[in-house]
Amino acid sequence: MDADNRDIIDRGIDLLARKLRIRDELGDAEIAALRGAVSSIRRVDAGRVSVRSGVPLTESNLLVDGIAARYKDLADGQRQIMEVHVGGDFIDLHSFLLGRLEHNIGALSDITLLIVPHDNLRAITEQHPHLARMLWLSTLLDAAMHRERILTLGRRSAVSRLAHLFCELQVRLELIGLAEEDGYKLPIVQADLADAAGLTAVHVNRMLKELRDRGLVTFRGSRVTIHDRAGLCAVAEFDPSYLFLDHHPR
């Protein structure tokens, strides 16, 4: 493993650690254990499937760079994105105990992943109970985001769904230093937004226009620019408490 690769590993672990340390202390030994659990690096081109549904897995992926998504398809070709993932997300940590995934993980942009063998994760649960709880926590945060999406898809209007997505990503990208005050890079297309929001691409296009016309947010050229954050949050009924940003012993 050359120096370049070590930098990528350090970057991935740093992003994950940053997110975990928002929620609880993490010792240097625990960080070292995480870094030591990484076996290799993988790159996936935009549009490719990274992990395929149903395939038995013996390792998990930690996203370092780019945008990935969990999604499922229906028989008629409709697609639904469950969660949009950003740097530092331990995307398919779920497969550690599930043994496989019941959904696909796709690259919405070019992405870089750290590979973590399940054996190494099991060792962490045996030797580092607190770190194990923190990894468990990170899957619970996924579940909490899933629940918020259930609320969004079940009960919110189309504009509100998009507004909510933009608000959530603003907060999550701020946590890892990838958002500016007024927005962030988001290298995906409108069809991806549609698949995340449970809408058609055509309707997403119209609702984006509405959000633009209302002076709330602009999505253009792979960038989200938030003009009126309070207004956007209001339209979305966005309350970040479901992201569990409080710091206490776990």
Partner DNA sequence: CGCCGGTTTGACGCTCTTCAACGGTTGTGG
Partner DNA sequence: CCACAACCGTTGAAGAGCGTCAAACCGGCG
Structure tokens at 149: 């999406």
Residues 192 to 211 in contact with DNA, rule: CB under 7 A: 198-203, 205-209
C-alpha span between 60 and 118 (Å, rounded)? 7
Main-chain dihedrals φ then ψ at residue 216, nearest 5 degrees: -100, -50
CB 10 within 8 A of CB 35: yes
Is position 230 an interface residue for its own copies (rule: CB under 8 A)? no
CB 56 within 8 A of CB 118: no
Output 65 or 92, the one with its CB closest to its own copies: 92
Output 82 or 207, the one with its CB closest to its own copies: 82
CB 198 within 8 A of CB 215: no
CB 62 within 8 A of CB 90: yes
CB 250 within 8 A of CB 134: yes
Residues 17 to 46 in contact with its own copies, rule: CB under 8 A: none
- Beta-carbon contacts of residue 44 (< 8 Å; ≥ 6 apart): 50, 68, 107, 110, 111, 113
Q: Name the binder of 241 from its own copies, DNA, none, CB < 5-8 A by kind.
A: its own copies
Site string for DNA, 122-161 (x = CB under 7 A): -----------------------------------xxx--
Is position 49 an interface residue for DNA (rule: CB under 7 A)? no
Output 1 or 151, the one with its CB closest to its own copies: 151
Site string for DNA, 83-102 (x = CB under 7 A): --------------------
Cα 228 vs. chain centroid, distance in angstroms?
A: 24
Residues of this chain that interact with its own copies (CB under 8 A) are 54, 70, 72, 74-75, 78-80, 82, 94, 97-99, 102-103, 122, 125-126, 129, 132-133, 136-137, 139-140, 142-144, 146-151, 153-156, 197-198, 237, 241-242, 244, 246, 248, 250
Kindly list the residues in this chain that would bind DNA in the complex (CB under 7 A).
157-159, 189-191, 198-203, 205-209, 220
